[in-house]
Amino acid sequence: MLEDLGPDLGKAVVTGLLAGGASVAVQLVAPRATRILRRLRWGRAEKAANPPRLERRLAAVLAADIAGYSRLMTADEEGTHRRLVSYRREVFEPKLREHRGRIVKSTGDGALVEFASVVNAVRFAVEVQRLVLARNAGLPQSRRIEYRIGVNLGDVIVASDDIYGHGVNVAARLEASRRRAASASPPRRGGMCAERLPPNSSISASGS
């Protein structure tokens, strides 16, 4: 919009110089400048009054991490790392593709995963726990990798590289409840918690 001032400003300057004063230039440019400034202010006010809407969607959110990860790494850092990589490549990732999950973010020992279907999320969690349980059968308790998983169906706010909102927080709290179970006496390691599932969904997953 400011470029609209170009021709008038040139004419005004020439006219002002010929007339011997700057007041003529100001008088010629002022009306157009005032209109342009009004349009700029109106545009800013409209944007402030109507901010862009956040993208939201209903999603099944799964939060997972490994029980006793720090203890495992302290006892056998290299062996734990190798087993973790193996479990991810041979269990976690294949099942994730099978059930159409999307990893939103990864941490050192866990992940936040989004599913379009809560049924797929629960099936993924159950099957991962069963496969991990079978792999752990021949290992001493001190070397077992056991996943804790929380699943929640809820509304999320979608960003380019993350998801936010109450639905995510609930999944994280459900996963954290497995941490409290692991510290109980006797401890209940691994396992899965789920919330807001369809009436016919079946949940029977445990890491031990």
pLDDT digits (tens, 9 = 90+) for 139-162: 898 889 999 999 999 999 998 889
145 and 127 part of one domain: yes
Tell which phi-psi region holds residue 156, choosing left (phi > 0), alpha (psi between -120 and 50) or beta: beta
CB distance 75 to 128 below 8 Å: no
pTM: 0.65
Q: Are 128 and 60 part of one and the same domain?
A: yes
Q: What is the pLDDT of residue 89?
A: 95
Are 132 and 91 contacting, i.e. CB atoms less than 8 angstroms apart? yes
* Strand (E) or helix (H) holding 124: helix 118-136
What is the arithmetic mean of pLDDT over 121-147?
93
pLDDT 10s digits, 171-191:
999 988 865 544 444 444 545
pLDDT confidence of residue 11: 56
Claim to verify: residue 23 and residue 119 sit in the same structural domain: no
Whether 120 and 45 map to the same domain: the answer is: no
H or E segment and range at residue 153: strand 147-158
pLDDT of the residue at 114: 96
Q: What is the structure's pLDDT at 181?
A: 47
Identify which has the larger pLDDT, 121 or 24.
Answer: 121
Domain total in the chain: 2
**In CATH, what number is assigned to the domain containing residue 184?**
3.30.70.1230
Percentage, residues of the chain above pLDDT 70: 65
* CB atoms near residue 161 (< 10 Å): 6
Answer yes or no: do 102 and 40 share one domain: no
155, 197 in Cβ contact below 8 A?
no
Judgement on whether residues 60 and 34 belong to the same structural domain of the protein:
no
Is 205 a member of any domain? no
**Mean pLDDT lowest among 93-97, 125-129, 143-147:** 143-147
Which of 49, 71, 86 terminates a domain? The answer is 49
Is 135 inside a domain boundary? yes
Instruction: Answer yes or no: do 74 and 169 share one domain.
Output: yes
Residue 201 lies in a domain: no
Residues 78 and 176 in one domain: yes
Is the Cβ–Cβ distance between 102 and 112 less than 8 Å?
A: no
User: Per the domain annotation, does 11 fall within a domain?
Assistant: yes
Contact 80, 191 (CB under 8 A): no
Inform me whether the pLDDT recorded for 136 exceeds 80. Answer: yes
Cα separation, 177 vs 18, whole angstroms: 83
Q: How many Cβ atoms sit within 10 Å of the Cβ of residue 7?
A: 10
26 — pLDDT class (breaks 50, 70, 90): low
Residues 39 and 60 in one domain: no
The torsion region of residue 41 among left (phi > 0), alpha (psi -120 to 50) and beta comes to: alpha
Residue 17 is part of which domain span? 2-49
pLDDT of residue 185: 40
Whether 80 maps to a domain, the answer reads yes
